[in-house]
Structure 1
Amino acid sequence: MTRAAAPLMLEPGQRELLESLAKSRTAEHRLVQRARVLLHAADGMANAEIGALAGVTRMTVRAWRSEFAERGLADL
């Protein structure tokens, strides 16, 4: 079993925005994918598991988690 990273901490309102993006049929695919990754990270799922579900590498998940920790949703 893969050890999970600490759950990503979301500010009030961020989960709702990420959920909306994750369900979007009109947003750019990469944006939808990133929103799903961040939601899984907030739920405490391991980076390797998130990557497998999202179709990205574990390193990409780590990078997106780091970017979110530094800048929040500003890049979205």
Structure 2
Amino acid sequence: MELTPQGEAELQSLVYSPDVAATVSTRARIVLWQNEGRQRKDIAALAGVSRPTVDLWLSRYATNGFAGLLDRPRGAGREQVTARVQARILALSRTSPPACTGLSG
């Protein structure tokens, strides 16, 4: 993949911008290093990431350009405890322990 002067300038702006997250800056560096002709294994070592990670970001840049390096919005996290279990825990926490346990409530 060969970068245009405009594409290279956009990536350089990501690398040196104080407003850009370090992860996004690293992704831009990965593409710039690829453009310099470096091998992917060397890029992975320079960036401190795995080879599949280098492949991922190069692929996203090839497909989506500049926007492909930016973080994508994520969906809501998976619920770790179901609503039914949460309700049961809450109900149990509001009751006194059985007298046979010797605990006071």
1:61 partner amino acid: V
How much identity, in percent, do the aligned residues show? Answer: 38
Alpha-carbon offset, residue 12 of structure 1: 3.5
Alpha-carbon offset, residue 20 of structure 1: 1.6
- RMSD (CA atoms): 1.3
Per-residue Cα deviation, 1:12-57 (whole angstroms, up to 9, x for no partner): 4110111121122331111111011110011111111001111111
1:54 equivalent in alignment to 2:50: no
Q: Which secondary structure does the structure 1 equivalent of 2:23 belong to?
A: helix
1:72 equivalent in alignment to 2:65: yes
2:65 partner amino acid: G
1:69 partner amino acid: A
**d(CA) in 2 for partners of 1:17 and 1:57?**
24
TM-score normalized by the length of structure 2:
0.60
Structure 1 runs (4+) deviating above 6 angstroms are none
Which residue does 1:20 correspond to in 2?
13
Q: Can you give the 5+ residue segments of structure 2 that lack an aligned partner in the other structure? A: 71-105
1:32 equivalent in alignment to 2:5: no
Q: Can you give the 5+ residue segments of structure 1 that lack an aligned partner in the other structure? A: 1-7
TM-score normalized by the length of structure 1:
0.80
**d(CA) in 1 for partners of 2:5 and 2:19?**
24
Bigger CA radius of gyration: 2
Q: Which secondary structure does the structure 2 equivalent of 1:10 belong to?
A: coil
